[in-house]
């Protein structure tokens, strides 16, 4: 059985937590705990409070996700 693909959503970072984790408020009002993708740490992309981000939500647990892009 193959893995299911993530659900793409956009949101705003409301809180920066230790260990590359972030609390993100989605467009529909839900709060999600997200972590930065590996490429973001590789290229030293910083995510700050107030940044608009695209994240991929897990279809198994909709309260967790992975930040894949920081909008300019």
In 3D space, the residue among 27, 26, 37, 36 whose CA is nearest the CA of residue 63 turns out to be 26
Range list of H helices, 1-72: 38-42
- The predicted-structure confidence for 49-66, as pLDDT tens digits, reads as follows 999 999 999 888 999 999
- The predicted-structure confidence for 13-49, as pLDDT tens digits, reads as follows 999 999 999 999 999 999 999 999 999 989 999 999 9
Whether CATH 3.10.20.600 fits 7-70: no
Domain map of the chain by residue range?
Answer: 7-70
Query: What per-residue confidence (pLDDT) applies to 1?
Result: 58
Evaluate whether 12 touches 52 at the Cβ level (below 8 Å): yes
């Amino acid at each position: 059985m193959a893995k299911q693909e993530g659900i793409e959503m956009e949101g705003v970072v409301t809180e920066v937590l230790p260990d590359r984790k972030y609390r993100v408020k989605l467009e529909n009002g839900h709060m999600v705990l997200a972590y930065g993708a590996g490429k973001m740490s590789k290229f030293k992309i910083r995510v700050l409070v107030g940044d608009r981000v695209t994240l991929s939500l897990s279809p198994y647990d909709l309260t967790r996700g992975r930040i894949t892009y920081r909008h300019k």
